[in-house]
Structures are given as C-alpha cells and as structure tokens.
Amino acid sequence: MAIFGAIVYGTTSVISKALADQDFTGPTVVAFRFGGTAALLFLMGLILKQPLVPARGEWVKSIGIGGGFAISSLLVFAALQRGDAGIVSLLTSLFPAWVVMIEFGFGHKPSKVAVLSVVMSLFGVGVIAVASMGGSTSLSSILLSLASSVGYAGALYASGRLVTDSEPLPKAAWIAVGVTIVCLIAGAATGELQNPLRSWQLMSANSIASAINYLCLFVALEKIGPTRSGVIINLYAPSAMFLAWVLLGEAVSGAQIVGAIIILVAVAILGMEDSTAIFFKLKDKVADVVAEKVAWKPLPLPGVDEESPE
C-alpha cells in the first residue's frame, strides 16, 4: 500500500509543475489540493463507516502538524516555479536522512548504516547541484527543495511520534485540514489567492493523487514507523522524474542521473538496515550449526575398538 501511494505521489509533482507553468500561486494550488484531499478522505470515511475525528486530544496536534506540511508544500511549489519537477522531487526525497538526524537530536544514536546513508545522500545532492548549475534548475530551486525536505521530515517525525492513538484516515484528513487552513491564511495575507477553477481538471487530479498518497502514508506510519515509511515513499522520486520526462519533456543529464542513483541507493540502504542485521544473525546461526557438525564424531561400531589396530 505504501509503495502504491508513493508512485501515485509522483504525479503530484508533475501536476504542480504544470500548474506553476500556468502562473498559479503556491497558496492557491496547495490550499485547493489539500482542501480537496481532506474532503475526499472525509467522504471515504463516511462510505467505509470509519471514525472522522482523531483520538481525544489529537485533533489539535493533527492540525498543527498540518502547518508543518503546509510550509514544506509551499516551499516545494516555490522550487517548482524555479526548476524542473524531476530534480525537485529527487532533492525533496532526502527527507529520510533528515529524519535520522532529527532522531539523533532527540537522543537516538544512529547506526553506522544510518550515518552512511546520510553521507551518501548529501553527496548525491552535491552531484545534482553541480550538474544543474546553468541549466533550467536554479540554485534557489535547489535550496528551496532542500528546505522543503527538512520541513517534511520534521512534520513526518512529529506525526509519527505525537499522534499515535488515532486511526490513519482521520489523522490524514485533519492534517490535510491543517495544511489548507495555513495556506488560506498565507494566501489571504499576501493577496495570492486565485480562482482555482480555471484549471479544475489538474486541480482535481492533484487532490485525488494527494488523498491516495496521504492515506497510504499514514497507514504506513502506523505499521512501520517514520523512517521506513520515508524510505518507501522515496519511490515517488523516480516516478516523478520519469513522468516529468515523458509528460513535460524535461531533459535529464547523465550527472543528474548519477546523483539520483546515489540518493536512492542511500535511502534504500537505510531501509535495509534491519534486513542487514537479520542477515548477519542468520550467518552466525549457520556458522554455529556447521561448527557443531564438524565437531560431531560417529559412534564406534559394536566389537570394533576405538583405538587404531597396530
């Protein structure tokens, strides 16, 4: 389910880029996207007879966390206005590395695998940044993408640690409500709210894709936690890069592909940390069994002396 949600999420980057090219503002696109997401999730809850309100004391937290996701989404849109959807998606896919750093800040000592993943991710970002200089992706787009990934990591970590008793559907819906409220306030304050209906097809598709992604994301958060969820969600990066190449005609250089591969390998290594530990435990077990077999001696046959005849 998380994998499906991640692939669908890749379409939101491409759709948002298309809306940015139509001169829509960030608050308009993000508010409509998450307002539609919340409405669809509430409708889904009614149809499936699921609870529509988070657990006691968690709906305020959900709305507050939505504020964090709102800032991240607005930064992504600003990056898309200044760069290619594929590159922006790849850079924002760094957030699992930031989750590791956040956990370290709260006293969780990272493993060597996690440290390696962070170093590789940062190196991959450097490769993409250098390869993108002078192209259609500006330095400001790269910096905005990185800032967005940090914000997303913080919001993801908070949602996984602070909202723990609610069902995934109301949790996702009320976080989407929080995103919508923050973006409407930001748009009203800056005078950037526009009529979204002049491109209602793209706006609606963005909301549907976002609703599917959010529901899958929060189911994954409940089942496997923020770090592993982040790793799986990163499948949206190659999905967005491929769709941007096919649908938007965005060119991708060989160096950018190398940087993308480094980032994806880094987050995959982070996701396989437990599998690596299991492998070494299995290896030790096999070694113990082999040692027992080698040390085993057959019983002597009846009437045959154990000592070799002279």
The ranges assigned to domains in the chain are: 2-290
- Which pLDDT score, from 0 to 100, does residue 2 have? 56
pLDDT in tens, 251-262: 777 877 887 788
Per-residue model confidence (pLDDT) at position 225: 63
Tens of pLDDT, residue by residue over 186-203, are 999 999 999 998 899 999
Give the number of other Cβ atoms within 10 Å of residue 252's Cβ. 18
Cα separation, 197 vs 22, in Å, equals: 13
Q: What is the pLDDT of residues 216-267, one digit of tens each?
A: 766 766 666 655 665 566 666 667 777 777 777 777 778 778 877 887 787 6
pTM over 0.85, yes/no = no
pLDDT tens, 156-165? 888 888 888 8
**Do residues 182 and 26 lie in contact, with contact meaning Cβ atoms separated by under 8 Å?**
no
pLDDT of residue 10: 75
Distance CA 50, CA 246 (A): 38
Q: Does 299 have pLDDT greater than 70?
A: no
CA angle 280, 285, 289 (to 5 degrees): 145
DSSP per-residue string spanning 224-268? HHHHHHHHHHTTHHHHHHHHHHHHS-----HHHHHHHHHHHHHHH
